[in-house]
Amino acid sequence: MDKSTLDTAIDGITADWGPLSTQVVDGCRAHLERLLQAPVAESWLAALRREGPANRELHRDPDRGFVLLAHTEHAGLYRPPHDHGRGWVIYAIQQGEIDMGTYGRVEDADGRVRLVKRNSTRVRPGEVQVYLPGDIHDTRCVSGPALLFRFTERDLKKEDQEAHRVTRYVERDGAWTTAGSP
């Protein structure tokens, strides 16, 4: 029996896995780009497109810890600026379009934290976007429903719940800042 494009991508990522490096990120990116080319007739992808789940786990590696999730987002859905703590992430767009903004964190002389927006990238079907530890970004679905894959090098939900390492920003007086900033 032939392997699915999903199984082939997971096998490739597993074979390329190691500590964070340019080579590991490039390998994972290439496998996810090939995953985006999966025929829509493959049962796993047909089910995702038909069911449109908000969040579905596609793979969790018990030894290496990486997780591949699928998300379906409706047009207009906005996720405010956040980072992924110690983790790194690759977003891969299968259908729809997502604007992803990037930010720099600035601390004023009085200790006030604020974000400065660097840019915004429209990510289209077949494209991927990589965020390394500490990178801050937001997402807005501009053409939906969007189906995106989110590859994380660790279970970020667990990391956030247990170690509180993920930072989410809030808008205050027209600027993005941390909840505890003066």
Q: Is residue 36 assigned to a domain?
A: no
Does residue 19 register a pLDDT over 90?
yes
Q: Is residue 28 assigned to a domain?
A: no
Residue ranges making up the domain that contains 172: 54-177
Q: Is residue 6 assigned to a domain?
A: no
- CATH number, domain containing residue 131: 2.60.120.10
DSSP state of 109: T
Mean model confidence pLDDT for the chain: 92
24-69 pLDDT tens trace:
999 999 999 999 999 999 999 999 999 999 999 999 999 999 999 9
Whether 102 contacts 7, CB under 8 Å: no
Whole-prediction pTM value? 0.90
Residue predicted with more confidence, 180 or 39: 39
- 177 token code pair: 């800042």
Number of domains within the chain: 1
* Section 124-144 average pLDDT: 95
Q: Is residue 104 assigned to a domain?
A: yes
